[in-house]
A = this chain, B = another copy of it.
Amino acid sequence: MKELSIKTKSRDELVDITYSVQKTVGEEKINGGLCIIYCPHSTAAVTINENADPSVKDDILKFLRRIVPADAGYAHAEGNSDAHIKASLMGNSRIVPISNGKLVLGTWEGIFFCEFDGPRSRKLLVSVLGK
């Protein structure tokens, strides 16, 4: 299990982590298997989506801001209930098959760390199964 460090710059942000995850997979020198990307933070998440046109990321964030407003009379008094809700909606991990030592992703796909309560220093855990 390897740990990746991420510094986010905005309150909400999708950070492309595909290269770092692939590098970790490459270091394991396996051929086929599975890669698990896990976020141990309850106001952040992991998703996979298009990374060719950056406006896809913007549309996802804008959608989440609309359905989970920052201020909606939440009971949790720390001002980040929206971030907790967004984290559960997106999910805190992703699993990606590995073939020929590479993450199997669609042509236009990338793996994104989803920050919902930044800017912060975050970490991600990458586990690799296979041989």
| A59 CB within 8 Å of chain B | yes
Residue of B nearest to A63 (CB): B85
Whether the pair A84, B67 counts as a contact (CB closer than 8 A) is no
Interface residues of A in 81-101 (CB under 8 A from B): 81, 84-85, 87-97, 99
| A105 CB within 8 Å of chain B | yes
Cβ–Cβ < 8 Å partners of A97 in chain B: 1, 36, 38, 125, 127
Whether the pair A49, B93 counts as a contact (CB closer than 8 A) is no
Query: What's the tally of chain A residues with a CB closer than 8 Å to chain B?
Result: 51
How many angstroms between the C-alpha atoms of A67 and B108 in the bound complex? 25
Stretch at the interface among A5-13, A22-30, A50-58: A50-58
Residue of B nearest to A58 (CB): B75
Whether the pair A60, B32 counts as a contact (CB closer than 8 A) is no
| A18 CB within 8 Å of chain B | no
Interface residues of A in 33-78 (CB under 8 A from B): 34, 36, 38, 40-42, 47-50, 53, 55-56, 58-60, 62-63, 67-68, 72, 74-78
